[in-house]
Amino acid sequence: GAVVSQHPSWVICKSGTSVKIECRSLDFQATTMFWYRQFPKQSLMLMATSNEGSKATYEQGVEKDKFLINHASLTLSTLTVTSAHPEDSSFYICSASTGKGLSYNSPLHFGNGTRLTVT
């Protein structure tokens, strides 16, 4: 159980275009989803926290107009990289909470990630 599907697994786009990445919780309702960015050989850096039905909360330094996050349902959150540039090339990973309660040490469940290459 607790499967998170992320799509696409990799995408190549031209500079200036936008690309959308989907994160779906397949067998549970995810009240909260998180979007991370991982540069090669580096750690995961949290970009934003996405709550169903409300605006995402962005981490300091993350451009909210560039990285649009929509959490329209309890099973889907999307990250759209707008007007992508080569420096946006990275590995993007989503994770989802099963919502068992903030006091529970439930781990987050991660998607398989999306490798974005902007040419």
Give contact residues for other proteins (rule: CB under 8 A). 32, 34, 38, 41-46, 49, 91, 93, 95, 97, 102-103, 105, 107-108, 110, 112-113
* For other proteins, the closer CB: 14 or 41: 41
Bridge partner list, 80: 20, 68
DSSP assignment, residue 106?
A: P
C-alpha span between 2 and 25 (Å, rounded): 7
Minimum distance, C-beta of residue 83 to other proteins, in the bound complex (Å): 26
Contact 31, 98 (CB under 8 A): no
Q: Beta-carbon neighbour count of residue 6 at 10 Å? A: 21
Minimum distance, C-beta of residue 56 to other proteins, in the bound complex (Å): 13
Minimum distance, C-beta of residue 30 to other proteins, in the bound complex (Å): 11
